[in-house]
Homo-oligomer: A and B are copies of this chain.
C-alpha cells in the first residue's frame, strides 16, 4: 500500500474521553492516534463492554481478496462508504486501489469531502435545495472533485434545475441514469423513460453531464427465492444501453456502468463486462460490506455464491467485526442476558451469534449451545442449555449480521490484533 490517499491525520488528533462508548472513565483524555500506547487488551478487561472491535488481520485479508478479484476481472470499485462511514477505512480502501467512494446522501458526501475524497458516486437521487447548493458550492471550490449522482426522472431533473437557477456552476454535475426493476426500488423501469431522461440531461449541458448508467441489484423483487432475477435485471440494463443511440454517449471518454452491492456483485460484473459500445466501458462495483463481511447475512450470501455452479465467485471474505459483552444475569435455567442490545448490535437482518466465551482468570471456554432470540435497547436475551455453565461476568464474543447497521452504532471502534491487543482505532461519522 502507498501512503495516505486522503487526509485522515486530523482524525488521529481527535481527543477521546469517557463520554465515548468504549473508552473507560479511568483514562485521562487522549488523542486517538495514541491509543496503541495505552496497551489495552480486550480480554484483560481494560475497556468497558459492550465493545465492538475490528480485527486487523481479517480487514487486511478481505482487502487483498477483493483487490485480487477486481484486478483479475478488470473491474473498478467505489466501495459504498455508507457501510462504515469511517474516513480511515475509506483511506485504506483507496490505498487498496478503489477508484472512488460511493455515498448515499449529501451529508455522507460532505464527510468524504472533508477528508479529501476526490471522486464520489452518490448512488442515490440528488434532490432538494440545501443538498443541491451544498454540492455545487463544493464542486465550485475544487476543480479536482469528480462527482456523479443518480437521476431517474424528469421531475428530479427539474427539481435540481430550480435550485441551480440561484447559483453559479463552475461545471456540470455528472449524472448516471438509474435503471430499476419493476416492483423494486428507485430507477426508471423502461427504455423509453431512460431515453427521455438522457435526452433531458443532454439538453442542459451546462448543468448536467450524462456519464453512464447506475443500477442496484440488491433491491429487486424475487431475490428471496434465487439469484436469477439479477441476471434478468442485468440483461435489461445491457439491452437498454445497447438500444441507446450512440449520439447519447459518443463524446464520452468512458461510459460508466455501475452496479454490484455485496451479495451479487459477481453476477453483475460478469454481465456488465459483456457490454460493447463505441466508447470504453468502466464497470464499477460499489460493494460496501466486503470490507468486514459478517457472521450472518453477508456470509450466507457468499456461501450461496460459491455453491452456485453458474456463478464465478470462489473466494471467501472473513468476518472482521466482533461484539464483546458480559453475561450480566442468568435468572432462570436456560435463560441468560448479555450487556448489549439494539444500541450496540444490528437486529435488522438477524441477531448476533455468540461464538466465543472468555472467563477472566480462566481463559477461553466452550461457548456451548446458545442462541440470542431478542434484544432490547441494552440487553440481549439468550436461550441456553439448562445445564449451561455460563457465569455472570463471562465475556461473550458475538458475530453480527449486516455491517451497515453495526458501524452506525459506534462512534469509535478499536482495531485489535489476533491477541485482542488494541493496536489502532477508527472513528465513524454517521
Contact = CB atoms under 8 A, between A and B. Distances in A.
A153 B392 contact: yes
Interface stretch (A20-28, A273-281, A293-301): A20-28
A159 B392 contact: yes
A25 B110 contact: yes
Interface in A358-389: 360, 376-379, 381
A222 interface: no
A248 interface: no
A129 B332 contact: no
A331 B187 contact: yes
Contacts of A156: 328-329, 392-393
A53 interface: no
Interface in A164-191: 180, 182-183, 185-189
Interface in A42-92: 45-50, 82
A131 B49 CA distance: 8
Contacts of A133: 24, 26
The residue in A133, A137, A186 that gathers the most chain B C-beta atoms within 10 A of its C-beta is A186
B342 A128 contact: no
A110 B18 contact: yes
Copies of this protein, total: 2
B155 A392 contact: yes
A220 interface: no
Contacts of A347: 348
A107 B219 contact: no
Contact of A155 (B134, B180, B393): B393
Contacts of A183: 332
Interface stretch (A204-212, A229-237, A403-411, A418-426): A403-411
Contact of A48 (B26, B45, B130): B130
A125 B182 CA distance: 50
Interface in A10-33: 17-22, 24-26
Given A155-B392, A159-B393, A331 B130 contact: no
B129 A360 contact: yes
A46 B337 contact: no
Nearest to A188: B331
A75 B131 CA distance: 47
Contact of A378 (B124, B360, B392): B124
A110 B339 contact: no
Interface string A112-148: 0110000000001101111101110110000000000
A311 interface: no
Given A21-B107, A25-B110, A185 B405 contact: no
The residue in A45, A107, A129 that gathers the most chain B C-beta atoms within 10 A of its C-beta is A107
A188 B376 CA distance: 19
A169 to B, nearest CB: 14
B153 A329 contact: yes
B339 A111 contact: no
B107 A185 contact: no
Given A104-B377, A330-B155, A392 B127 contact: yes
A430 B404 contact: no
B105 A339 contact: yes
Contact of A409 (B124, B137, B182, B408): B408
Interface of A: 17-22, 24-26, 45-50, 82, 104-107, 110-111, 113-114, 124-125, 127-131, 133-135, 137-138, 152-153, 155-156, 159, 162, 180, 182-183, 185-189, 219, 326-332, 337, 339, 342-343, 347-348, 360, 376-379, 381, 391-393, 395, 404-405, 408-409, 411, 429-430
Closest 5 CB pairs of A and B: A45-B129, A25-B134, A18-B110, A155-B392, A159-B393
19 contacts: A19-B429, A20-B107, A21-B107, A21-B430, A45-B130, A48-B130, A48-B134, A49-B130, A124-B378, A125-B392, A127-B326, A128-B326, A152-B331, A159-B392, A186-B329, A186-B337, A186-B379, A347-B348, A408-B409
